[in-house]
Structure formats: structure tokens, C-alpha cells
Structure 1
Amino acid sequence: MKFIVFSAFCLAVAAAMPYEIIEDEDGQQYYAVPISREKRQTKWNVNQSGVGISHTANIFDNNKHRLDGTASAAKNFNSHGLKPDQIGGRLDYNHKPSGAGAFVGADRTRGFGTDLNVGAKYNIHQSKNVGVDVTGQYGRHFGGPGGTGKPNYGVFLNAVARF
């Protein structure tokens, strides 16, 4: 089921990409796919308890929309085997003209379950000196020794004024 959802997401992103059809002198048609170099960032962390790595990259970016993704994994030194003890991922979407955005993320710790978090932000008003937005978040823990936890959620109104 996860593979089907992931495949559908990848297909939707590919379908949303702006393709241009060009034709050469012989009448052969080609898809012109825009290519741009985006900043990607890989971070390593090693300490007395273990090692961790995370990689963040831009997946899609145009004048109106931006999608970034992060994947992470960690291995504790005191555990056995080669599998990572923690794995996770996050997608961040930003609608550039409005400043609105959303995210979805999940982190799985072997033997302790999975944490799922989603959230969204919508700008109500934005000017030179005042900004007002509403945000909503939802989080829940699934599985592990304590079982599935109760949902943790909230809606917040944020205001910023510069004098």
C-alpha cells in the first residue's frame, strides 16, 4: 500500500512538471525538460551514542510552488546488526505567492513505533509591517510498547508587527 501511495505521488509530481515539446529539422519531436542545479545538503552526526545522517534537497521549484524533501537515518552504537535504528522523512511544500505551506513527516524507531506529523500554514494578511497567519498541526504515535497514542493537534493564530 505504501508503495502505491509513493508511486502515485511521484507520478503526480512528474505530471505537474512543465514539459515543452520541440521539433528538429527532420520533424522529430522531443520533450524538453527544464534542468536546474539546486542546493542539496547532507549532514553527518557522530557522537558517543551513535551515528546519524540526513539529506535535504529541493524536489520541485518554479515561480509559484516549491517542494523540498528530507530523509534521515540513525544507528546506535550499542545495538546489534546493520539496519538503522531510526529512519524518517519529511516533505515541505511552499506556495510562493501567498507564503502558505504544508508539511508531512514520519519517523520510525525500531522497537518503539512511528511518529507521524502533518501541518499547514495560511497567510491571512501580509504587509510591510504586519503579518497574520493561521497554522494547524496534527501528530500521533503509532505502535511500540505503549501502543498507539492519542492524537496531538492544534490550530494557532500568529501575528507579527514591526514598529
Structure 2
Amino acid sequence: MKTFIAFTALVAVAAALPLDVFEDETGQEFVLVPVQRQRRDLTYGLNQGGYGLGQKGTVFSNDNHQLDGSYGASKAWGSHGLKPDTFGGRLDYTNKPSGSTGFVGVDRTPGYGTDVTAGAKYNIAQGKNWGADVTGQYGRHFGGPGGTGKPEAGVFLNVEGKF
């Protein structure tokens, strides 16, 4: 009995929801359903040295936060085989109210190692004609013929003004 009451209540709620019905010129009826799509851009390039292929797009976005991602691969014309010579990806985060950003990226070249990078920017102050932020970056190479390299890091203070 409880199952029957729950099923009846569910059907009643579903039947009470408003639907946007569209009828075309042949008499067919369609229910309009809202769709939210994120834009994804395919990038490619050809030159004398080789070719590259990648894709970038928004993974998540709302009023306060946005997460963008990208990945790609490249191949030199003279290299052997079908596998790409270099491939990698990157994630970018943006805090929309403050304008602060962060990223992390990895690029791999088989036989030559992996490069890892990360960085962040924090807005300290913002005026009508000026702004100040702190930026930090980190990078390191792992593996390959030269072995693992020393980390490279830096912190910067950026001040910009329009006069």
C-alpha cells in the first residue's frame, strides 16, 4: 500500500510540472528541454616542423568559480612511429569575485622527461585605474637524459596603473 501511494504521488507531481511543447509544420510535437553546454575549442596547427592537435574548454563554471582544462599533443614530421612526440595538459582555476587564478600543467616527451609547472596569482588590491597582485610560479623537469633537474620557483609583486 505504501508503494502504491508513493508511486501515485510521484506520477501526480510529474503530471503537474509544466512542459513547453512545440509543434512543427507537420504536426509532430516536441517537448523543449533546457540544455546547458560548455564550449570546447579544438586547436590544431601545421608548420614546417610538424603538427599539433589539442582541445580546451570549461570543465565547471558558476557565478564564483571557473575551472578550465586543456590537453594537446604534437608530432615532428621526421620522427618515426604514430605516437605523439610530446603530449600534456593543463588545468586553470579562476575565482571570479577576486580575480585570483591558479594553474597546474604537465608536459611529457617520451625519452626526454616530464615538465611540471604550477602557479597562482592573488589580487591584493584593486582600484579604478590601478591594481596590485602577488604571483608565484614553480617548475621542475623530471627524468630524461639529464635526469631530474632542480626546481625553479619565483614570487613576484605586480603593480599596474593607468595614467
Tell me if both proteins adopt one fold, taking TM over 0.5 as the criterion.
yes
Match of 1:113 in 2: 113
- Structure label with greater radius of gyration: 2
Give deviations 1:68-93, integer Å, cap 9, x for gaps.
00000011121111111100100000
Q: CA deviation at 1:25?
A: 3.9
- The equivalent of 1:89 in structure 2 is 89
Counterpart for residue 99 of structure 1: 99
SS of residue in 1 equivalent to 2:111: coil
Q: Structure 1 length as normaliser, TM-score?
A: 0.78
User: Structure 1 residues 94 and 24, CA, compared in 2 at 3 Å: closer, same or farther?
Assistant: farther
Aligned to 1:145: 145
- Taking only the aligned residue pairs, the percentage that are identical comes to 57
CA deviation after TM superposition for structure 1 residue 26, in Å: 4.0
3-state SS, counterpart of residue 83 of structure 2: coil
* 1:19-54 Cα shifts (integer Å, max 9, x gaps): xxxx954467xxxxx952232211111112211112
- The C-alpha deviation readout for 1:66-119, integer Å capped at 9, x for no partner, is 000000001112111111110010000000000111000000012110000000
Name the TM-score, length of structure 2 as normaliser: 0.78
Q: Distance in 1 between matches of 2:102 and 2:35?
A: 25
Q: What are the equivalent positions in structure 2 for 1:1-163 lying under 5 Å apart?
A: 25-26=11-12, 35-163=35-163
Instruction: Figure out how many residues of one structure are paired with residues of the other and give that number.
Output: 136
User: Hey, what's the Cα distance between the residues in 2 that align with 1:82 and 1:26?
Assistant: 58
Distance 1:67 1:27, change over 3 A: same
Between 88-97 and 46-55, the greater mean CA deviation after superposition: 46-55
